[in-house]
Chains A and B, each alone.
Chain A
Amino acid sequence: MSASLLRAENLHLWRAERHVLKGVDLRVRGGELLQLTGANGAGKTTLLRALAGLNHLEAGRVFWNDQDVREDRAGFHAALVYLGHEPPLKSDLTGIENLKYWTGMRRPLTDSAIAEALHATGAAGFGTRPVRTLSAGQRRRVALAGLVLAAVPLWLLDEPTTNLDTEGQQLIERLVATHLQDGGLAIAAVHHRLAIDPSRLRELNLFA
Chain B
Amino acid sequence: MSDRLTPPLTAARLVVSRDLLLAFRRPEQLVHPLAFFVMVTTLFPLSVSPERAQLRAIAPGVLWVAALLAALLALDFLFRDDAQDGTLEQYALSGQSLTWLLLGKTAAHWLLTGLPLSLMAPLMGYTLGVPMSAGAGIMVTVALGSLALSFIGSIGAALTLGVRRGGVLLSILILPLAVPILIFGSRATELAIRGETYLAPMELLASVVVLSFTLAPLAAAAAVRISLE
A contact set with B: CB distance below 8 Å: 1, 52-56, 74-82, 84, 86-93, 97, 100-102, 104-108, 151-153, 182, 184
Against A, the Cβ 8 Å flags (1 = close, 0 = not) of B1-42 are: 110111000110011011001100110000000000000000
Check if A84 sits within 8 Å of B11, measured CB to CB: no
Which residue in B4, B22, B94, B229 is a CB contact (below 8 Å) of A105? B94
Residues of chain B contacted by A106 (CB below 8 angstroms): 5-6, 94-96
B31 CB → nearest A CB, Å: 16
Residues of chain B contacted by A153 (CB below 8 angstroms): 1
The answer, yes or no, to whether B92 is at the interface (CB within 8 Å) is yes
Check if B85 sits within 8 Å of A88, measured CB to CB: yes
Known contacts A56-B229, A97-B21, A106-B5; A91 and B93 CB within 8 A of each other: no
Check if B2 sits within 8 Å of A107, measured CB to CB: yes
Which residue in A88, A97, A101, A104 is a CB contact (below 8 Å) of B86? A88
Known contacts A106-B6, A107-B5, A108-B6; A86 and B95 CB within 8 A of each other: no
Closest 8 pairs between A and B when the two form their complex, measured CB to CB = A78-B95, A88-B86, A77-B95, A92-B25, A101-B18, A88-B90, A151-B1, A105-B11
For residue B22, which residue of chain A has the nearest CB?
Answer: A92
Give the A-B contact count at a CB cut-off of 8 A.
89
The answer, yes or no, to whether B97 is at the interface (CB within 8 Å) is yes
Report whether over half of chain A's contact residues are helix, strand or loop; otherwise say mixed: loop
A105 CB → nearest B CB, Å: 5
For residue A81, which residue of chain B has the nearest CB?
Answer: B93
B contact set with A: CB distance below 8 Å: 1-2, 4-6, 10-11, 14-15, 17-18, 21-22, 25-26, 85-87, 89-97, 101, 228-229
Residues of chain B contacted by A55 (CB below 8 angstroms): 229
Residues of chain A contacted by B93 (CB below 8 angstroms): 52-54, 77, 80-82
A94 CB → nearest B CB, Å: 10
Residues of chain B contacted by A101 (CB below 8 angstroms): 14-15, 17-18
Check if A91 sits within 8 Å of B6, measured CB to CB: no
| Additional A-B contact list (19), CB under 8 Å, known A74-B96, A106-B96 | A54-B229, A55-B229, A56-B229, A78-B94, A80-B93, A84-B89, A88-B85, A88-B86, A88-B89, A90-B22, A90-B87, A92-B22, A93-B21, A93-B22, A102-B87, A105-B94, A107-B4, A107-B5, A108-B6
Which residue in A78, A88, A92, A97 is a CB contact (below 8 Å) of B5? A78
A–B Cβ pairs within 8 angstroms, 16 of them: A74-B96, A74-B97, A82-B89, A86-B86, A88-B85, A88-B87, A90-B22, A90-B87, A92-B22, A93-B21, A100-B14, A104-B14, A105-B14, A105-B96, A107-B5, A152-B1
Check if A54 sits within 8 Å of B228, measured CB to CB: yes
